[in-house]
Structure 1
Amino acid sequence: MDSKATGAAALKRLRRRRGLSLADMARALTGYAEDLRLPRLPAVASVQRSVARWESESAATVPDERYQLLLAHLYARTPSGDLAIATGSDFAEFLDALGQLGESAGRIAELRTTLIRTATDGGGGMLALMSPGAQANLSAALADPSRADDTTAADLSAVVADVNSQVGSLPFVRLQLMLAPAVEMCRRLLAGPVPEPVVPAVLNAAVAASALAGRLAFETRDDPASKALYSTAISEAARLGRPWRQASVIMSHALVTLYSTPGTAGARVLVDQAVRTARKGDSPLIRARAHALQAEIAARAGEERQSQDALGLAWYDMEADHTDDPASTSFSAGHLRGFEGVCDLYVGDPSAAHDHFARSAAALTAPREQVQRAIVTTDQALARIRMNDPHAAAELLHDCITAATSTGGRVPAIRLRRARQAMRPWRREDFVADLDDHLMDIVGT
């Protein structure tokens, strides 16, 4: 059976599992269209023929985007009406069927994000991200931590990873709603008599949950909570005995410290600590990231030689063999070029900085990288200002405004404010007035 036939068979299996005839399915989709206030569907008989075409194992067709959305809402609900979109759910099987039918990975990810947004609207985000089996497992472990096992930790880690994957796609306040129960579950499990062999796996989930929660608290401007969560994550990471993991958390804390406290002194202490810790670990990419951040801190302090030395070390580790790197997706050449650009912006040539930013932005295309891309592009605009090309800078900033406000990112907003302040010499020009109007439109919506 070819891929399309497999997808068609899966759609038929899903429908029949719900006890729906072709006509029942057509009526159900029509009802969802009305509930969601989408354009009216054709007559039931016409919709029924569409359903049959999707399920044809000899000539299957892919549902169009309107029907995909309706099917997604249908299968995201259990027969009892609960929202369920985790692995093993009908919804997950539906998305897999779409992939078999030839739908793009980007569109499938978009559908999933749409339904996760629905989950947070209803306040049930975390449960929707867990299979019924995982929910039962965690409930049992919370009632009696001695019953926790590796599956318990894996279920928690999966939820944290799921929330993390939505950074750049959903507003940070929604992500906080989804993550908070996982943070609390980790805390309660570690406070209880978890079996010793399971402790490392639970700690691993707890480190990821606390560090991400610290990032989200920073993004929503709760700096005391952010500091406390990072402190917890760093302590938990130290217990893991994996220096690269601890260094990664320290770096994240350093970045939020850089943008939430005056000056660079506090961030520098943390970055130097991250570098020392990363050198004890077995991840060249984490070492590269630590040295890159060290280079940025030095550049912001006007220390050109120290900045260049740190960048050299970063590129040395970036160009090493990453085959067995335990943090293989944590840092890339595209990210490093962004750091190079920042260093040139402060202690080098703005035109070189501009080129570094352009290459970095071009490489940061994944949904998870959109916040970083907004930061890099805003810095690219600042480089254009320093090159005395404010018109070109304003063109870039229009794009940055939309990108920076889509998820409420705090760092892109800070960078935007600095870029706008740099435009003051041209404040009476029409292109700056247009930029301010755009900013006001976004803020006012």
Structure 2
Amino acid sequence: MNVRDRQLGAAALKRLRLSRGWSLAGAARAIAQAAEQLGRPLEVDTASVQRCVARWESPRSAILPGDRYQLLLAYVYARTPGGQYILGPGSDFAELLDALAYLGAGSDQLRELRVLCVRTVTDDGTGLLALLGPTTQRLMADALADPSRTDEALVDGLRAVVADVNQQVGTVPFVRLQLLLAPVVESCRRLLSGPVPDGLLHELRSIAAQTYTLAGRLAFETRDDGASRALYAAATGVAGRLDDPWRRAVVHMSHSLVTLYSTPGIDAARLLVDEAVRDARAGGSVIVRARAHALQAEVAARAGAAKHARAALSLAWYDMDGDQEGDPSVSSFSPAHLRGFEGLCELYVGDPAVAHETFAQSARALTAPRERVQHAIVATDQALARLKLNEPHAAADLLHQCIDDAVTTGGRVASIRLRRARRELRPWRAESFVADLDDHLIESVGR
């Protein structure tokens, strides 16, 4: 950060204030009012806050607002003067984040502010269009009335919302993410049923495939399996009309995972995984191919087919180690994720000691906010490996942390794995450490 950056940040904060028609004192009053509404009233008078605002906007000596004031500014600018929440591109909130970045706020700070605001706008169900910027909202209204008016700006706006919701997985409750994604799901359905310009149709189908797939996963997480199946069917259909089969492979992979936990047995999931592998092999994404082979290895291991599992896992590592430069997929699948699948293969058809160490390596690497759900799953599997090593106390210790992670993320798969791990502790049900674990489960998840 340099002097020029600070000047840009200060100018942006001043521009935001003036766009609301506020004097320095008016901005100070708005910040104080926000503190009251959040139940965290300021302990200083308005004149003191006004001096802070002036320092933030100083062209010669601008400073970054403190953490508390960053939160209050975010709360103020997340709402339009009319009281509507808007966090998307072109919004005052987005401009605020840019200003704070110029003044020295780190990416983690800005991400946390965004998460807090997303939670706030979905608390009372009023944030349905919060991630759509004001321009995108206007373009969407025009296009829904006449799909032939769909343009690149609208397509870009829809793509940004899907990416934004996807980034919030693991930090915002799934039911709230459903709320944020709902307008994009409906918009894609309506636009694709109309005369969208030919030059934009492919990109809109790509966005629709991503949207329906994510929506199917969110419906599964909120235990609406019927809606989940319908959304995956829609995703499969639209992805099949795209030019590269890897896009349909992505749909099949997501669908197979939710099927594995919502349908008895593994046959239905195995059919979807096999379809994913066929599409991935015919497609142009090495990363998607690696993930498809990893899923194939997991399903084979669960079925006790050790040779098949190890062969698929070897193919997954071969793909993972291949040249990924320019890969068309935006998947976050990484060696850390693949080690989790490797641990599963060892857990079911190999050495539990190797499984435990592999799970530990994977868990240590899965630290990003978006990876919290996967981290909870891997840690629970690590506890199962401990049980196979006849170390129930150590397994229970791990499961305590897994309970906290599962509650924080709200992940359905992690909760299912937790219940399975608890059943494996039945031989020690009379022990106090198991009673402590049950108390933790009841307090945290009610079962």
What TM-score bracket applies, with the shorter chain setting the length?
A: over 0.9
1:417 pairs with 419, 423, 426, which one?
419
2:156 pairs with 143, 154, 157, which one?
154
* C-alpha distance in structure 1 between counterparts of 2:18 and 2:54, whole Å: 13
| Most deviating of 376-385 and 388-397 | 388-397
1:82 pairs with 78, 81, 84, which one?
84
Query: What does residue 211 of structure 2 align with?
Result: 209
Q: Which amino acid is the alignment partner of residue 209 of structure 2?
A: V
SS in 2 for 1:394: helix
* C-alpha distance in structure 1 between counterparts of 2:193 and 2:11, whole Å: 47
* C-alpha distance in structure 2 between counterparts of 1:328 and 1:128, whole Å: 24
What does 1:27-426 correspond to in 2, within 5 Å?
A: 27-426=29-428
* C-alpha distance in structure 2 between counterparts of 1:313 and 1:443, whole Å: 39
Q: Deviations over 1:314-349 (max 9, x none)?
A: 000000000011115331100000000000000011
Q: 8 Å contact 1:22–1:51 — kept in the other structure?
A: yes
| Most deviating of 199-208 and 15-24 | 15-24
Q: 8 Å contact 1:286–1:330 — kept in the other structure?
A: no
After the TM superposition, which parts of structure 1 deviate over 6 Å for at least 4 consecutive aligned residues? none
Q: 8 Å contact 2:372–2:409 — kept in the other structure?
A: no
Query: What does residue 23 of structure 1 align with?
Result: 25
Structure 1 position 395, deviation (Å): 1.5
| Most deviating of 301-310 and 385-394 | 385-394
Q: Deviations over 1:103-146 (max 9, x none)?
A: 22112111111111222224343422112211111111110112
Structure 1 position 444, deviation (Å): 4.3
> TM-score normalized by structure 1?
0.97
Q: Which amino acid is the alignment partner of residue 19 of structure 2?
A: R
Structure 1 position 98, deviation (Å): 1.3
* C-alpha distance in structure 1 between counterparts of 2:7 and 2:315, whole Å: 52
Q: Which amino acid is the alignment partner of residue 75 of structure 2?
A: H
* C-alpha distance in structure 2 between counterparts of 1:45 and 1:125, whole Å: 33
Q: Deviations over 1:119-176 (max 9, x none)?
A: 2224343422112211111111110112112322222222222111111111111111
Q: Deviations over 1:191-228 (max 9, x none)?
A: 11222222112111111111111101111111121111
* C-alpha distance in structure 2 between counterparts of 1:138 and 1:100, whole Å: 31
The percent of aligned pairs where both chains have the same amino acid is 61
Query: What does residue 434 of structure 2 align with?
Result: 432
SS in 1 for 2:240: helix
Which 5+ residue runs of structure 2 have no aligned equivalent?
none
| Most deviating of 331-340 and 179-188 | 179-188
* C-alpha distance in structure 2 between counterparts of 1:18 and 1:100, whole Å: 21
Q: Which amino acid is the alignment partner of residue 272 of structure 1?
A: D
Q: Which amino acid is the alignment partner of residue 45 of structure 2?
A: A
* C-alpha distance in structure 1 between counterparts of 2:253 and 2:128, whole Å: 27
| Most deviating of 411-420 and 194-203 | 194-203
| Most deviating of 18-27 and 177-186 | 18-27
Q: Which amino acid is the alignment partner of residue 244 of structure 1?
A: W
Q: Which amino acid is the alignment partner of residue 6 of structure 1?
A: L
* C-alpha distance in structure 2 between counterparts of 1:256 and 1:34, whole Å: 43
Which 5+ residue runs of structure 1 have no aligned equivalent?
none
Q: Which amino acid is the alignment partner of residue 347 of structure 2?
A: L
Q: Which amino acid is the alignment partner of residue 202 of structure 2?
A: P
Q: CA RMSD in A?
A: 1.5
Structure 1 position 5, deviation (Å): 3.0
Query: What does residue 10 of structure 2 align with?
Result: 8
SS in 2 for 1:353: helix
Q: 8 Å contact 1:113–1:166 — kept in the other structure?
A: yes
* C-alpha distance in structure 1 between counterparts of 2:51 and 2:92, whole Å: 22
* C-alpha distance in structure 1 between counterparts of 2:12 and 2:63, whole Å: 13
Q: 1:26 to 1:328 in 2, by over 3 A?
A: closer
Q: Which amino acid is the alignment partner of residue 226 of structure 2?
A: P
Count of matched residue pairs: 445
Q: Which amino acid is the alignment partner of residue 250 of structure 2?
A: S
* C-alpha distance in structure 2 between counterparts of 1:440 and 1:73, whole Å: 35
* C-alpha distance in structure 2 between counterparts of 1:252 and 1:208, whole Å: 11
* C-alpha distance in structure 1 between counterparts of 2:153 and 2:13, whole Å: 29
